[in-house]
């Protein structure tokens, strides 16, 4: 199949996929090389089929820590100029450069990959009440209106690197080991059909949220319609996109804390709510479930979601997908398989499996070295 | 007596205030500067409460009311006494459209004129018999679908007593009109008769009350003969179907 | 299995079809098959049901199997007896001489005079050999149902 | 001999008493004494026996197991002579029995009026109240090939006897002192009805008459002469003018008697451990609300049971009953309740209906049924008995009382529901 | 009077070899179809009176009766079908409007039959509802768009306020508005009791609330229609919710009336009108001639019930249903009931019933989409009504965007109804659509309750199976999840309106 066709399919229909996921966080925000996460995700090579892999690292751009950083891929000539024109109208481009890559033989259909460090020109134009909403709108506009361009990373002091290939190939391609970050998440993809579009790989990100996901969300249809109502347009047709947007909507816009957010996304069963003895909590659980009925993620999933101040690992409410966590010193590891953790941390202090629907939430200690860490809680 | 200044107050708050006072045992409440507040007295169940309103209350005054007396010093808008169950509304002025819509019990006295579709679908039940006395004139569709109770139109202030289509679909109750039968199109379902002695007896107490409220002469009212509009059947649409 | 004690009548749900009688007769006859039995007039039994009807109200009433049954006291032969196992008031045709004392004292009026054997009283035996009386089982509207000793409704499920 | 419970009489009152006692006390010793020689028989069945409709074996209304299961010591052929109420002892012809609780259920004995020429020793004269008499009568009828008989008394016993004799194709002359047959239970209309039926069967009925003289030859009856002068040749005379309570042994014991032994609502006599029930006892008549003798089987059964329960320490109250009778004469069933014939029409209301084959009559007093007669068609008559017993006001449905399809449906809803679903279904 | 030229709709076949002359059929037929022929002493039937309710057939102990459609055929004519010919015959003889009962029976395209459901295969697991939790719990009423922690400030009072205005349903199926009057009190009792037992709600219709139904009032949605029958502040305060009925799928734009002869003592009590008087519901509410008037009534009710109960508005699905629904949300309603063209009725002119309105499938789709487009979907619940025959219809309706459904006809069928469409005669042999005491007793509410509970249970089980098959274990994740639907044999415009893809299209 031609690339354009493959991309079209990828961009217009939802392709269910199986996956492997991994995440590492240093609670004190001490940065460490991406080598660790590469090693971890590669341990689970068999969970993917070479059709997608990716990484997200936090704290990787300390020199631009207060700039919005957009990673954009272009696969159509002339599109780059158009997008840059659009960006210049809205931002002061502080810095821009091609994302440094290495040649890897087995990779194909490689798009042009470029990154921009931006300051918002006119912060509150278009009646948007926050910088974040402005960035969100910008990303939405580029992804919806520029056919040959795709913003795949849009946070501050963080970046997503992804493509079509095995995780080791993608790591090599982007030189992941050269980056140092305090939180890393990674993805190894197993889509159910052939894809050639790099934008379809994971992690998926919006603002400084990045998300990797294993499983399929059967409620996708209604989650998507719900998000569209809130101004999130799902252009990628992936469950991961929906999950990421839901986190942004609930945690950033609606200011729910992560616990409440978990009540929404992996709602406790009515029977469980009924059994809850803390009256206040019970009421809240019930209320959240009623109000956010359309936001519930139904179906099997294991997700790792990160932003600059937190890393969350979470299962669906029946724990239909695997997820293991471990900790040692100021490190916390999360992965689809324990081996992926043992590989990089042979002797963790604690290894555990999270309960269905109950998230592992790792908050970062504030660290003066890496700028302000936003707390969404 | 307690007073409330309703100036600029939203109806919900006003009703809450009135209810709170009534619950605390207040028997008479005066509300001044009423202007457009809807639903005053909605569903009230306070049997011996009297509310004096000054100004222009909003639509649905006394909707679903079940026993309270409301006196209005001014005109009222549309839907006064909508689906009223019991109680009394006295208006020292004119009333708007659909006054006494579907009322099942209680009394409405209007000093002046009423608008269109007055007393539409009034009905009666057991000892509940709604009565509406109108001092002036009424618009079209008076007593449409009327199923019970009585409407008395006095026409004391001149003008066309009633509009066209009075008693359309009427299948119960009585409309009493004072003076000669107006030259209008009546509903097909009614007939007009002169009053008998017992009819006068029936309406007398209400006329007395009317005269009392609005300080007018009972003799003057009686100077002119009444006629009554009654339905010919209480099954007006029985024959239009093919079973 | 809880043994039924008596048939309770919900007259407000009797639809007046009288199927109870038909099934009662069928059950108590030797034929057991409705059509043949009726067609060939092999009706060897009578219904133990008294069917009453007036205006829109109707009901079928059978022996109440009273706790303190007057018919038991009045029976001069011992033909009327209480079954020890089930508590039902049963009637032994062989012993009955047709003195009509039971007919006389039954306040419900449900002891009937057998038409086939004029000297014998007849009444409902709650279909002693079946789990549920035939009338109850075939009532289309549960206008009759059985209760146990404590007055609890017994149903199939 | 000593016992906890002692019962005099082994008919339905005595047997019911046993059942009453055993419903409460399973172990207390019960002794029953009977002056008869048979373990158990039903007295009303003697006419059926006479008629040959049932055998001697079928006379029992309770089986031999009944006595065994209830551990009853039944002593036959014992005649009570007196009671020593101070020492709780029954004195009999065979010895004394000490008791804790005593039931007198000695029943009644036939009345034999003084008639000229009568002697106990004359053959061919019988009473008709016990099985032994009936057996003798049957044997006599069969051996002597009797073809006509005179029955003195047109009451229930007489008619029952007639019914039995009719089965032997015997022409019956029935002599009745009053103006009609069954005068105590039927009105004139019903009586005439019965009379007609009997006459169709070849009976001759003499009303307002009685036997004045009995003639005998060779110590065998040969003829009777009626007061009216009529002479009837016969080899069989049955004296059936009635029974009286068998209270002879109660005399001078301190137990209060009127015509029968007086009892309270617990069937207790004035002596606290002595009870009486059945034909010998006077209980409350529900209709007249007076103490009276109602010598019928269901009353005896109920009284015996109540006495038994109370003797065993339970508590049961006799609420009273009223006279009722069921009889079938020549294939015509008749049932009557309470007051059936009244003269004082001011206080009573009579409802009647007849179609030549059936007859139905209801007597009302203050809108309550106090009596009724059903003739020919008797089904569902028990409902009326219930109405009498429960003193239901029938004003509302009076007009339906005579209806062909009279039934529970006519009754006031509350009462009907009580019967149909109520827990106290016995009414 | 000339002999009628109409023919019987049904013919009754009586197998004389099986008939035992028990006369059960004679006794029970309210239409006097069966009779004992004194001349022959056989049981015979007058076919012309038969409505095809099958009561006698059901009752006959020997199966001697078979009711068949009258096979008599007019010459085949695609246009002048038999039914139209004989409708004209009837009208020529009577000069009246032809009435009918139940919902539209025209063979319009049934979209439920052109929509297919999804199931999970490989990429996600289907769920076994027998072992794992499967949730159907549904809340009807106005919800807020977002829970903002700052606003809530962990105070539960505002939560209480919102939650008290919600109806909590254990199954997303409620019993549709059927008044005491249109159906018998026994039928009402069975429905009310079943609603209570099954944790759902029933609707009084415009019939008032009979005293014997007070125990079920906390499960009742009371209706206010144009006749305002039985409406009082007490009626409103007893109920769980209030529904303003503007229109009905079977007769949009048409009023209704209960003929005086059906206004019995009990009906007079609940409707609060004199016995024997016609109960006329005018076509419009005469106090609602415009959308702002609707708002006025909604808030009159809210004011009367102290804002404690959800107030809904029921409309018939008509061409403009989406904007109307939007207006209703903005008028302050907490739920909207949309009744499709196949919605039932006790009596409606056949021409109206069969020709006015649009199918509910379409109405749900456009209303849900419109409300989402306007960003007001969360402010209101959509209750769909109008001819739900199976649990799959319901699942499809919910997937298209309905919050819950009302069932009417299917509930009545559970109670015995055979959809003979003669409800308006008041001679319902099944004791449902009648007030004749001889007939109403045929519906033993105890049995009725059991049957309704069974139906809801059965449908719940089936819905859970379908949900589980899709790998979804809570109904809210299916609600509006149109990705789970595919159309079959539908045109592009139909697919577009329904907002679903065609079978064969993947995610």
Look-up of token digits 């809680």: A377
In chain B, domain spans:
94-231
More confident position, D256 or A1: D256
Among B102-106, D145-149, D394-398, D417-421, the minimum mean pLDDT is found in D417-421
> Which domains are assigned to chain C?
1-62+125-157 (3.30.70.20), 65-123 (3.30.70.20)
Collect all residues of chain E within an 8 Å Cβ-Cβ radius of residue A214.
Answer: none
Provide the token pair at A115.
């990154």
In a domain, D95, yes or no: yes
For chain D, the distance separating the N- and C-terminal CA atoms, rounded to the nearest angstrom, is 41
Collect all residues of chain B within an 8 Å Cβ-Cβ radius of residue E228.
Answer: 83, 101-102, 104, 121, 123
Look-up of token digits 């309570």: D245
Q: Where are the alpha helices (DSSP H) in chain B?
A: 11-23, 197-214, 218-223
- Domain match, D351 and D287 both: no
Q: Is any Cβ of chain D less than 8 angstroms from the Cβ of C147?
A: no
Provide the token pair at E44.
């015979």
CATH code at position D222 = 3.50.50.60
Number of domains in chain E: 2
- The tens digit of pLDDT for each residue in A232-250 reads 988 777 888 999 999 999 9
CATH code at position E49 = 3.30.70.20
Task: Kindly determine whether residue C66 and residue D426, on different chains, have CB atoms separated by under 8 Å.
Answer: yes
CB E186 within 8 A of CB E446: no
- Domain match, D148 and D226 both: yes
Residue A369 is predicted with a pLDDT of 42
Q: Which of E156, E381, E477, E486 to mutate to test the interface with A (most CBs of A within 10 A)?
A: E477
Beta bridge partners of C91: C80
In a domain, D319, yes or no: no
Is pLDDT at B235 greater than 80 in this prediction? no
CB D238 within 8 A of CB D151: yes
Considering only CB atoms, C76 lies closest to which of D44, D333, D423, namely: D44
Q: Which residues 6+ apart lie within 8 Å of D413 measured at CB? A: none
In a domain, D324, yes or no: no
In a domain, D153, yes or no: yes
Backbone angles phi, psi at E248, to 5 degrees: -135, 140
Residue C28 is predicted with a pLDDT of 85
* Distance (Å) from the alpha carbon of C99 to chain D's nearest alpha carbon: 6
- The tens digit of pLDDT for each residue in B59-105 reads 999 999 999 999 999 999 999 999 999 999 999 999 999 999 999 99
CB < 8 Å & 24+ apart, contacts of B152-160: B152/B176, B152/B178, B152/B203, B152/B206, B152/B207, B152/B210, B153/B177, B153/B178, B154/B178, B154/B210, B154/B221, B155/B179, B156/B216, B156/B220, B156/B221, B157/B112, B157/B113, B159/B113, B160/B184
Beta bridge partners of A55: A161, A186
Burial of B222 (0-12, 13-18, 19+ CB in 10 A): middle
Look-up of token digits 């289509």: B165
- Domain match, D105 and D248 both: yes
Is pLDDT at D424 greater than 60 in this prediction? no
Is pLDDT at C104 greater than 90 in this prediction? yes
Q: Rounded to an integer, what distance in angstroms lies between the CA atom of residue D318 and that of residue C103? A: 22
* Distance (Å) from the alpha carbon of E472 to chain A's nearest alpha carbon: 6
Considering only CB atoms, D298 lies closest to which of C57, C70, C107, namely: C70
Is pLDDT at D427 greater than 50 in this prediction? no
Q: Rounded to an integer, what distance in angstroms lies between the CA atom of residue A174 and that of residue E261? A: 86
CB D244 within 8 A of CB D259: yes
Size of interface C-E (CB pairs under 8 A): 60
- Output the CA torsion sign for A209, A215, A218, A221: positive
Q: Which residues 6+ apart lie within 8 Å of E488 measured at CB? A: E114, E115, E116, E502, E503
CB E448 within 8 A of CB E485: no
- Domain match, D295 and D366 both: no
- Domain match, E126 and E42 both: no
- Domain match, D94 and D15 both: yes
- Which residue in E299, E331, E313, E325 sits closest to E377, CA to CA? E325
Q: Is residue D5 classed as helix, strand or coil in its secondary structure?
A: strand
Provide the token pair at E487.
């159309």
Q: Rounded to an integer, what distance in angstroms lies between the CA atom of residue B21 and that of residue A296? A: 46
Look-up of token digits 């008499």: D133
D377-411: b (≥16 Cβ within 10 Å) or e: bbbbbbbbbbbbbeebebeebbeebeeeebbbbbb
CB A23 within 8 A of CB A271: no
Low-confidence ranges of chain A (pLDDT < 70): 1-18, 122-128, 192-196, 366-377
* Distance (Å) from the alpha carbon of E442 to chain C's nearest alpha carbon: 5
Q: Which residue of E has its CA nearest to C41?
A: E20
Complex confidence, ipTM: 0.84
Look-up of token digits 């006419």: D47
How confident is the model over D191-207, as a mean pLDDT? 91
Provide the token pair at C79.
């033909």
Kindly report the CA angle at A317 between A313 and A318, in degrees rounded to 5? 110
Cis link prior to A203 (omega < 30° from 0)?
A: yes
Task: Domain B94-231: give its CATH code.
Answer: 2.160.20.60
H/E stretch holding D123 reads none
Collect all residues of chain C within an 8 Å Cβ-Cβ radius of residue E24.
Answer: 17-19, 22
In chain A, domain spans:
17-369
E46, E63, E96 — which closes off a domain?
A: E96
Q: Rounded to an integer, what distance in angstroms lies between the CA atom of residue D418 and that of residue E176? A: 38
Residue A17 is predicted with a pLDDT of 61
Residue E150 is predicted with a pLDDT of 57
Task: Kindly determine whether residue D16 and residue C103, on different chains, have CB atoms separated by under 8 Å.
Answer: no
Q: Which residues 6+ apart lie within 8 Å of C57 measured at CB? A: C11, C14, D409
User: Which residues of A are marked as active site?
Assistant: 19
Among A196-205, D9-18, D179-188, E232-241, the minimum mean pLDDT is found in A196-205
Residue A194 is predicted with a pLDDT of 54
Q: Rounded to an integer, what distance in angstroms lies between the CA atom of residue C23 and that of residue E59? A: 12
Looking at the domain A17-369, which fold is it? 3.60.20
In a domain, D115, yes or no: no
How confident is the model over D316-333, as a mean pLDDT? 89
Q: Rounded to an integer, what distance in angstroms lies between the CA atom of residue A301 and that of residue E467? A: 17
Collect all residues of chain C within an 8 Å Cβ-Cβ radius of residue E431.
Answer: 15
SS3 per-residue string spanning D132-189: HHHHHHHHHHHHHCCCEEEEECCCHHHHHHHHHHHCCCCEEEEECCCCCCCCCCCCHH
- Domain match, E318 and E357 both: yes
H/E stretch holding E456 reads helix E445-469
Collect all residues of chain C within an 8 Å Cβ-Cβ radius of residue E443.
Answer: 141
- Which residue in E274, E363, E357, E280 sits closest to E318, CA to CA? E357
Instruction: Give, for all 507 residues of chain E, the pLDDT tens digit.
Output: 688 888 999 999 999 999 999 999 999 999 999 999 888 888 999 999 999 999 999 999 999 999 999 999 889 999 999 999 999 999 999 999 999 999 999 999 999 999 999 998 887 888 888 888 899 999 999 998 887 665 555 555 577 888 888 999 999 999 999 999 999 999 999 999 999 999 999 999 988 999 999 999 999 999 999 999 999 999 999 999 999 999 999 999 988 878 888 888 889 889 988 888 888 888 899 999 999 999 999 999 999 999 999 999 999 999 999 999 999 999 999 999 999 999 999 999 999 999 999 999 999 999 999 999 999 999 999 999 999 999 999 999 999 999 999 999 999 999 999 999 999 999 999 999 999 999 999 999 999 999 999 999 999 999 999 999 999 999 999 999 999 999 999 999 999 999 999 999 987
- The tens digit of pLDDT for each residue in B109-159 reads 999 999 999 999 999 988 899 999 999 999 999 999 999 999 999 999 888
In a domain, E102, yes or no: no
Task: Kindly determine whether residue E234 and residue B65, on different chains, have CB atoms separated by under 8 Å.
Answer: no
More confident position, D201 or A186: A186
In a domain, E342, yes or no: yes
H/E stretch holding C146 reads strand C144-147
Number of domains in chain D: 3
E40, E64, E96 — which closes off a domain?
A: E96
Q: Is residue E157 classed as helix, strand or coil in its secondary structure?
A: helix
Q: Rounded to an integer, what distance in angstroms lies between the CA atom of residue A139 and that of residue C63? A: 85
Query: Range of E59's domain?
Result: 10-96
Q: How confident is the model at residue C1 (pLDDT cuts 50, 70, 90)?
A: very low
Look-up of token digits 């089930």: C86
Tell me the Cα Rg of chain B: 18
Provide the token pair at E317.
């699905």
* Distance (Å) from the alpha carbon of E224 to chain B's nearest alpha carbon: 10
Q: Rounded to an integer, what distance in angstroms lies between the CA atom of residue D38 and that of residue D75? A: 10
Query: Range of D92's domain?
Result: 2-109+244-311
CATH code at position D338 = 3.30.390.30
Residue D124 neighbours by CB distance under 10 Å:
21
- Domain match, E86 and E169 both: no
Task: Kindly determine whether residue E287 and residue B98, on different chains, have CB atoms separated by under 8 Å.
Answer: yes
Q: Which residues 6+ apart lie within 8 Å of B185 measured at CB? A: B164, B165
């Amino acid at each position: 199949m031609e690339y354009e066709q493959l991309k079209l399919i990828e961009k217009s229909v939802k392709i269910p996929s199986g996956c492997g996921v991994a995440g590492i966080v240093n609670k004190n925000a001490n940065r460490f090389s991406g080598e660790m996460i590469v090693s971890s995700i590669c341990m689970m090579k068999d969970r993917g089929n070479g059709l997608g892999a990716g990484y997200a690292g936090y704290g990787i751009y300390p020199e631009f820590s207060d700039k919005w950083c957009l990673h954009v891929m272009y696969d159509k000539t002339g599109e780059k100029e158009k997008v840059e024109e659009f960006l210049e109208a809205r931002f002061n481009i502080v810095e821009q450069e091609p994302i440094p890559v290495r040649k890897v033989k087995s990779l194909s259909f490689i798009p042009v990959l470029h990154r921009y460090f931006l300051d918002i020109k006119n912060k509150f134009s278009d009646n948007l009440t926050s910088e974040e909403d402005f960035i969100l709108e910008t990303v939405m506009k580029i992804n919806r209106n520029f056919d040959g361009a795709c913003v795949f990373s849009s946070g501050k002091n963080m970046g997503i690197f992804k493509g079509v290939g095995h995780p080791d190939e993608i790591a090599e391609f982007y030189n992941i080991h050269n980056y140092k970050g305090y939180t890393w998440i990674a993805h190894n993809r197993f889509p159910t059909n052939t894809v050639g579009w790099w934008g379809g790989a994971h992690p998926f990100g919006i603002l400084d949220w990045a998300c990797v996901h294993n499983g399929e969300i059967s409620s996708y249809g209604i989650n998507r319609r719900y998000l569209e109502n809130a101004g999130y347009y799902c252009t990628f047709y992936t469950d991961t996109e929906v999950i990421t947007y839901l986190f942004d909507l609930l945690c950033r816009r609606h200011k729910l804390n992560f616990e409440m957010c978990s009540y929404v996304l992996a709602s406790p069963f009515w029977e469980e709510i009924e059994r809850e003895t803390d009256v206040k909590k019970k009421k809240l659980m019930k209320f959240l479930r009623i109000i956010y009925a359309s936001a519930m993620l139904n179906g099997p999933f294991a997700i790792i979601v990160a932003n600059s101040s937190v890393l969350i690992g979470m299962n669906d409410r029946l724990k239909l997908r695997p997820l293991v966590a471990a900790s040692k010193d100021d490190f916390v590891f999360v992965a689809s398989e324990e081996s992926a953790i043992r590989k990089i941390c042979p002797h963790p202090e604690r290894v555990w499996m999270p309960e269905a629907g109950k998230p592992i939430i790792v908050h970062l200690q504030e660290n003066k070295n890496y700028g302000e860490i936003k707390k969404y809680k | 007596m307690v007073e409330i200044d309703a100036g600029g107050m939203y109806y919900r708050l006003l009703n809450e205030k009135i209810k709170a006072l009534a619950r605390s045992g207040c028997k008479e409440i005066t509300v001044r500067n009423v202007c457009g507040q809807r639903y005053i007295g909605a569903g009230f169940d306070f049997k011996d409460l009297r509310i004096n309103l000054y100004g222009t209350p909003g639509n649905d005054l006394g909707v679903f009311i079940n026993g309270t007396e409301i006196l209005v010093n001014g005109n009222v808008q549309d839907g006064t006494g909508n689906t009223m169950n019991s109680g009394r509304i006295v208006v020292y002025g004119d009333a708007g459209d659909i006054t006494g819509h579907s009322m099942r019990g209680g009394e409405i006295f209007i000093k002046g004129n009423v608008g269109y579709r007055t007393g539409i679908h009034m009905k009666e039940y057991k000892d509940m018999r709604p009565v509406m006395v109108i001092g002036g004139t009424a618009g079209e569709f008076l007593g449409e679908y009327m199923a019970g109770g009585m409407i008395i139109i006095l026409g004391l202030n001149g003008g066309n007593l009633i509009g066209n289509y009075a008693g359309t679909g009427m299948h119960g109750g009585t409309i009493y009109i004072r003076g000669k039968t107006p030259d209008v199109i009546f509903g097909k379902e009614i007939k007009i008769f002169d009053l008998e002695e017992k009819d006068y007896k029936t309406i007398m107490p209400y006329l007395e009350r009317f005269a009392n409220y609005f300080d007018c002469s009972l003799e003057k009212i009686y100077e002119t003969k009444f006629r009554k509009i009654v339905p010919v059947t209480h099954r007006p649409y029985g024959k239009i179907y093919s079973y | 299995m809880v043994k039924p004690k008596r048939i309770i009548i919900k007259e407000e749900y009797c639809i007046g079809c009288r199927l109870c009688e038909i099934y009662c007769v069928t059950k108590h006859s030797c034929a057991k098959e409705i059509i043949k039995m009726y067609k060939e007039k092999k009706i060897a039994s009578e219904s133990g049901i008294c069917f009453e009807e007036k205006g829109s109200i109707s009901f079928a009433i059978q022996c109440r199997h009273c706790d303190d049954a007057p018919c038991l006291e009045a029976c001069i032969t011992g033909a009327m007896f209480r079954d020890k196992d089930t508590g039902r008031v049963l009637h032994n045709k062989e012993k009955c001489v047709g003195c009509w004392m039971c007919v006389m004292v039954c306040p419900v009026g449900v002891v009937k005079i057998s038409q086939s054997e004029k000297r014998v009283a007849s009444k409902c035996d709650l279909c002693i050999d079946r789990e549920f009386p035939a009338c109850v089982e075939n009532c289309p509207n549960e206008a009759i149902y059985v209760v146990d000793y404590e007055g609890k409704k017994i149903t199939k499920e | 001999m000593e016992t906890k419970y002692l019962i005099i009489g082994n008919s339905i009152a005595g047997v019911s008493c046993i059942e009453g006692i055993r419903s409460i006390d399973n172990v207390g010793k019960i002794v029953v004494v009977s002056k008869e020689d048979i373990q158990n028989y039903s007295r009303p069945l003697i006419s059926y026996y006479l008629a040959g409709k049932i055998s001697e074996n079928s006379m029992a209304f309770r089986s031999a197991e009944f006595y065994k299961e209830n551990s009853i010591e039944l002593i036959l052929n014992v005649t009570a002579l007196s009671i020593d109420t101070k020492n709780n002892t029954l004195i009999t012809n065979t010895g004394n029995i000490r008791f804790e609780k005593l039931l007198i259920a000695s029943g009644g004995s036939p009345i034999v009026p003084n008639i000229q020429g009568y002697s106990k020793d004359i053959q061919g004269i019988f009473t008709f109240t016990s099985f032994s008499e009936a057996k003798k009568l049957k044997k006599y009828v069969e051996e002597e090939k009797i073809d006509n008989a005179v029955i003195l008394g047109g009451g229930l016993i007489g008619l029952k006897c007639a019914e039995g004799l009719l089965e032997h194709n015997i022409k019956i002359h029935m002599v009745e002192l009053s103006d009609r047959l069954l005068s105590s239970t039927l009105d004139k209309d019903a009586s005439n009805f019965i009379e007609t039926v009997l006459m169709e069967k070849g009976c001759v009925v003499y009303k307002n008459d009685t036997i004045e003289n009995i003639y005998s030859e060779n110590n065998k009856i040969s003829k009777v002469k009626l007061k009216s002068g009529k002479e009837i040749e016969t080899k069989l005379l049955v004296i059936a003018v009635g029974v009286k309570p068998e209270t002879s042994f109660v005399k001078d014991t301190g137990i209060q008697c009127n015509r029968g032994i007086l009892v309270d609502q617990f069937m207790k006599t004035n002596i606290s451990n002595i009870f009486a029930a059945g034909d010998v006892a006077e209980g409350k008549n529900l209709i007249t609300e007076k103490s009276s003798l109602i010598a019928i089987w269901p009353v005896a059964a109920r009284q015996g049971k109540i006495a038994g329960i109370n003797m065993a320490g339970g508590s049961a109250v006799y609420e009273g009953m009223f006279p009722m009778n069921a009889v079938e004469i020549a294939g015509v069933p008749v049932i009557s309740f309470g007051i059936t014939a009244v003269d004082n029409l001011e206080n009573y209301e009579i409802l009647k209906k007849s179609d030549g084959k059936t007859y139905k009559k209801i007597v009302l007093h203050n809108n309550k049924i106090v009596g009724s007669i059903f003739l020919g068609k008797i089904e569902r008559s028990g409902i009326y008995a219930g109405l009498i017993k429960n003193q239901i006001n029938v004003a509302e449905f009076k007009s339906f009382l005579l209806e062909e399809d009279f039934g529970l449906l006519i009754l006031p809803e509350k009462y009907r529901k009580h019967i149909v679903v109520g827990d106290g279904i016995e009414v | 009077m000339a002999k009628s030229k109409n023919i019987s709709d049904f013919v009754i076949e009586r197998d004389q070899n099986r008939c035992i002359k028990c006369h059960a059929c004679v006794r029970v037929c309210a239409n006097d179809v069966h009779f004992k022929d004194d001349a022959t002493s056989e049981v015979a039937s007058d076919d012309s009176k038969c409505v095809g309710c099958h009561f006698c057939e059901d009752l006959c102990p020997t199966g001697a009766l078979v009711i068949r459609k009258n096979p008599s055929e007019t010459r085949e004519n695609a246009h002048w079908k038999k039914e139209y010919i004989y409708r004209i015959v009837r009208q020529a003889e009577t000069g009246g409007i032809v009435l009918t009962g139940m919902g539209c029976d025209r063979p319009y395209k049934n979209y439920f039959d052109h929509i297919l459901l999804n199931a999970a295969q490989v990429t996600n697991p289907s769920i076994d509802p027998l072992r794992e939790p499967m949730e159907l719990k549904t809340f009807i009423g106005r919800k807020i768009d977002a829970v903002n922690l700052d606003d809530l400030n962990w105070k539960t009072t505002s939560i209480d306020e919102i939650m008290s205005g919600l109806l909590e349903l254990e199954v997303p199926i409620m019993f549709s508005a059927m008044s005491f009057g249109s159906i018998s009190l026994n039928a009402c009792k069975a429905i009310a009791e079943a609603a209570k037992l099954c944790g759902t709600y029933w609707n009084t219709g415009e019939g008032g609330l009979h005293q014997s139904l007070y125990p079920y009032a906390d499960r009742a949605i009371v209706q206010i229609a144009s006749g305002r029958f039985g409406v009082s502040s007490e009626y409103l305060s007893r109920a769980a919710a209030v529904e303003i009925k503007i229109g009905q799928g079977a007769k949009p734009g048409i009023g209704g009336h209960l003929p005086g002869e059906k206004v019995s003592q009990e009906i007079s009590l609940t409707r609060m009108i004199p016995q024997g008087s016609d109960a006329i519901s005018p076509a419009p509410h005469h106090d609602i001639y415009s959308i702002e008037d609707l708002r006025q009534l909604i808030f009159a009710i809210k004011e009367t019930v102290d804002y404690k109960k959800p107030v809904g508005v029921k409309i018939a699905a008509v061409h403009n249903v989406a904007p109307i629904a939007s207006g209703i949300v903005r008028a302050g309603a907490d739920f909207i009931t949309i009744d499709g063209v196949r919605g039932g009725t006790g009596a409606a002119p056949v021409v109206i019933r069969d020709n006015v309105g649009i199918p509910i499938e379409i109405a749900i789709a456009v209303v849900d989409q419109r409300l989402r487009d306007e960003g007001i979907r969360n402010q209101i619940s959509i209750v769909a009504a109008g001819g739900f025959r199976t649990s799959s219809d319901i699942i499809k309706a919910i997937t298209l965007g309905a919050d819950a459904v009302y069932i009417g006809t299917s509930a009545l069928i559970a109670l015995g109804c055979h959809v003979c469409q003669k409800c308006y005669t008041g001679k319902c042999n099944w004791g449902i659509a009648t007030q004749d005491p001889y007939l109403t007793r045929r519906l033993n509410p105890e049995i009725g309750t059991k049957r309704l509970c069974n139906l809801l249970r059965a449908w719940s089980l089936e819905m859970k199976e379908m949900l589980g098959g899709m790998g979804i274990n809570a109904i809210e994740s299916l609600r509006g999840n149109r990705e789970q639907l595919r159309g079959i044999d539908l045109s592009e415009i139909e697919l577009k309106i329904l907002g679903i893809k065609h079978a064969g299209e993947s995610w």
